[in-house]
């Protein structure tokens, strides 16, 4: 698996000068290191991970957000989500896998995975900033809670610097 840290440093726990500099500069944090070590430890059980890349790890609103390379999302979701369940048990957080380098629509589809997106609009505000409006299909039984919507908007803000407004169509 490709990570921002050397495989030897992750397996041994002793960091080389390049990896120490990445941690000192803030490019990599302790959470990233723990998740990368965990994934390297179980890489033999999940051969599809050997070609995957882990770009960033965030902890936002009760979620463990893995930002992976383009096209690597399916590698993390193989075998019916068994890997993400194992990570949820290990880190005691819901795991959300998001691809890096995809369009805004692709990012939002990853974010609202179990919801159907009807439309996405960009709203230009008077102060020059933009806000992205996402309209989801409004079936009563499948609606997200306000707390979950708030967490997902925080994830969008921290991963993509995207302000979201989520609405339901009837």
pLDDT (tens digit, 9 = 90+) per residue, 124-136?
999 999 999 999 9
Q: With contact defined as beta carbons under 8 Å apart, do 93 and 63 qualify?
A: yes
- The CATH architecture annotation of domain 7-99 reads 2-Layer Sandwich (3.30)
Can 7-99 and 104-169 be said to share one CATH topology? yes
CATH H superfamily, domain 104-169: K homology (KH) domain (3.30.300.20)
Can you give the residue ranges of every domain in the chain?
7-99, 104-169
pLDDT (tens digit, 9 = 90+) per residue, 83-117?
888 999 999 999 999 998 889 999 999 898 888 89
Cα distances (Å, whole numbers) of residue 123 to 42, 136, 146, 151? 44, 16, 21, 21
Q: With contact defined as beta carbons under 8 Å apart, do 53 and 1 qualify?
A: yes
For Cα atoms 32, 6, 24, give the angle at the middle one, nearest 5 degrees: 55
């Amino acid at each position: 698996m490709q990570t921002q840290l050397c495989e030897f440093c992750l397996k041994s726990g002793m960091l080389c000068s390049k990896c120490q500099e990445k941690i000192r500069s803030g490019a990599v944090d302790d959470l990233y290191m723990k998740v990368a070590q965990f994934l390297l430890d179980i890489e033999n059980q999940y051969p599809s991970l050997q070609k995957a890349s882990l770009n960033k790890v965030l902890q936002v609103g009760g979620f463990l957000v893995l930002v992976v390379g383009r096209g690597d999302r399916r590698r993390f979701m193989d075998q019916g989500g068994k890997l993400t369940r194992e990570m949820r048990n290990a880190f005691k957080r819901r795991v959300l896998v998001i691809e890096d380098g995809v369009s805004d629509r692709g990012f939002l589809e990853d974010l609202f995975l179990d919801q159907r997106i009807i439309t996405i609009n960009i709203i230009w505000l008077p102060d020059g900033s933009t806000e992205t409006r996402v309209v989801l299909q409004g079936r009563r039984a499948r609606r997200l809670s306000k707390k979950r919507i708030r967490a997902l908007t925080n994830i969008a803000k921290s991963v993509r610097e995207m302000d979201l407004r989520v609405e339901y169509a009837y």
